[in-house]
């Protein structure tokens, strides 16, 4: 690769952008692969800088602000491509620094068969934010409940398993065991209980907002016709993949979220291992929960188009393995429903075409 004089941008073909919190590093190549641009800019100078550059392909790693930057550059007439970081790594030369990262991004952006991340709309980002807030609140609530139980055990008090059991008996415990606890411990436990109630209220508020979106969005409504899938899974899918256009078939989506065995194959010999657990942990968790809901009601299985398969599989698989297999199938069906824009008919298999 040769290097032309910096500033000769007439034949600029691709720019790699290393996105930082306050500064961006740009590296650009012309059609022959010559380095013609190497610049460091402030985030606030993004629009002014790119307005003066020839329209070309812009590569950037998938990160927090990549979708915002992508929409901004697309509005200026560029062709942005958001690339997963794992696909950029093989192109890095030398030691890691911002300019080397930007150069690797630029080279990766021109690969013809490289899978890119679909640009998210503002509505998708809003919906994704709601799910992340709810997930954080649920995690905090679980931690608060566990801490309450731990402090009670330190006082020699045990409560049977379950959220409702602790909630219904907590105030009675504080009153009945008043003489066995110090005033300070009672104050600490009362404060934790108040935190719990506040978290319940916040989770309920966010959940209702998510449910409201699921009722008004056509894609979510179609996804909710699938057994076991409700407002949470349908909106999480729409937030993550939109209409699913980034995947050629349902099995690609299932592989993307990690609901397939890890593969290590060589010399024509295929070795399958444990579930890969690739990608986000949130969607696989939701699909496994949906699968467990379906497995709890075997009397409903005959009404599903995949009921015969599920009945046969239940006789030869452990329940946990069956749950993962069913979660994989539900994920593939959900992708097909989103991609084709039609509801799932439990009595017909036509919707499974292309899965």
The residue ranges of every structural domain in the chain are 12-109, 122-216, 218-352
pLDDT digits (tens, 9 = 90+) for 341-351: 989 875 444 43
pLDDT value at 315 more than 90: yes
What is the full DSSP assignment across 263-319?
A: E--BTTB--EEEE---S-SHHHHHHHHHHHHHHT-GGGGGGSTTHHHHHHHHHHS-H
Contact 280, 324 (CB under 8 A): no
Q: Within 10 Å of residue 86's Cβ, how many Cβ atoms?
A: 10
Measure the CA–CA gap between 138 and 286, rounded to whole angstroms: 14
Bridge partners of 275, per DSSP, are 261
Task: Quote the pLDDT of residue 355.
Answer: 33
Task: Quote the pLDDT of residue 350.
Answer: 40
Contact 339, 245 (CB under 8 A): yes
Q: Within 10 Å of residue 119's Cβ, how many Cβ atoms?
A: 18
Q: What is the mean pLDDT of the chain?
A: 90
Vertex 339 angle, CA 334 and 341, to 5°? 90
Measure the CA–CA gap between 117 and 135, rounded to whole angstroms: 23
The encoded tokens of residue 26 equal 């740009």
Span 247-255, average pLDDT:
90
Task: Quote the pLDDT of residue 7.
Answer: 53
Q: Which of 333, 289, 297 has the alpha carbon at shortest distance from 314?
A: 297
Residue 233: C-alpha distances to residues 158, 186, 220 (Å)? 35, 39, 9
Of 24-38, 125-139, 218-232, 338-352, least confident by mean pLDDT is 338-352
Span 18-22, average pLDDT:
93
Task: Quote the pLDDT of residue 260.
Answer: 85
What is the full DSSP assignment across 50-63?
A: HHTSPP-EEEEE--
Q: Which CATH class is domain 12-109?
A: alpha beta
Task: Quote the pLDDT of residue 51.
Answer: 94
The pTM of the full predicted model, rounded to 2 decimals, is 0.85
The H or E element spanning position 40 is strand 35-42
Of 4-13, 77-86, 131-140, 284-293, least confident by mean pLDDT is 4-13
The encoded tokens of residue 72 equal 């901004």
pLDDT digits (tens, 9 = 90+) for 30-70: 988 889 999 999 999 999 999 999 999 999 999 889 999 99
């Amino acid at each position: 690769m040769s290097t032309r004089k910096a500033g000769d941008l007439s034949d600029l073909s691709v720019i790699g952008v290393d996105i930082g919190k306050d500064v961006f590093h740009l590296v650009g190549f012309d059609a022959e692969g010559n380095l013609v641009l190497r610049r460091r800019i402030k985030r606030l100078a993004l629009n002014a800088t790119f307005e003066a550059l020839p329209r070309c392909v812009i590569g950037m790693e998938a990160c927090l602000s990549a979708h915002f930057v992508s929409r901004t550059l697309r509005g200026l007439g560029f062709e942005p491509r958001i690339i997963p970081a794992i696909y950029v790594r093989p192109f890095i030369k030398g030691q890691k620094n911002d300019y080397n990262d930007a150069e690797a991004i630029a080279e990766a952006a021109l690969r013809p068969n490289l899978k890119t991340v679909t640009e998210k709309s503002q509505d998708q980002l809003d919906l994704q934010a709601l799910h992340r807030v709810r997930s954080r609140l649920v995690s905090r609530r679980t931690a608060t409940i566990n801490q309450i139980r731990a402090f009670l055990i330190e006082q020699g008090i045990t409560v049977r398993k379950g959220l409702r059991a602790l909630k219904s008996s907590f105030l009675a415990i504080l009153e009945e065991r008043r003489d066995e606890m110090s005033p300070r411990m009672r104050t600490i436990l009362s404060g934790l209980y108040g935190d719990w109630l506040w978290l319940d209220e916040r989770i309920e508020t966010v959940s209702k907002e998510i449910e409201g979106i699921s009722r008004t969005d056509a894609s979510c409504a179609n996804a909710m016709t699938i057994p076991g899938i409700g407002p949470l899974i349908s909106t999480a899918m729409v937030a993550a993949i939109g209409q699913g256009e980034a995947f050629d078939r349902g099995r690609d989506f299932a592989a993307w979220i990690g609901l397939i065995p890890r593969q290590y194959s060589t010399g024509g010999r295929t070795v399958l291992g444990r579930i890969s657990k690739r990608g986000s942990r949130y969607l696989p968790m939701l699909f496994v929960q949906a699968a467990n809901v379906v497995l709890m009601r075997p009397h409903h299985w005959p009404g599903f188009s995949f009921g015969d398969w599920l009945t046969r599989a239940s006789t030869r698989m452990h329940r946990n393995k069956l749950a993962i297999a069913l979660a994989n199938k539900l994920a593939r069906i959900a992708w097909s429903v989103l991609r084709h824009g039609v509801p799932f008919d439990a009595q017909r298999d036509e919707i499974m075409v292309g899965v």
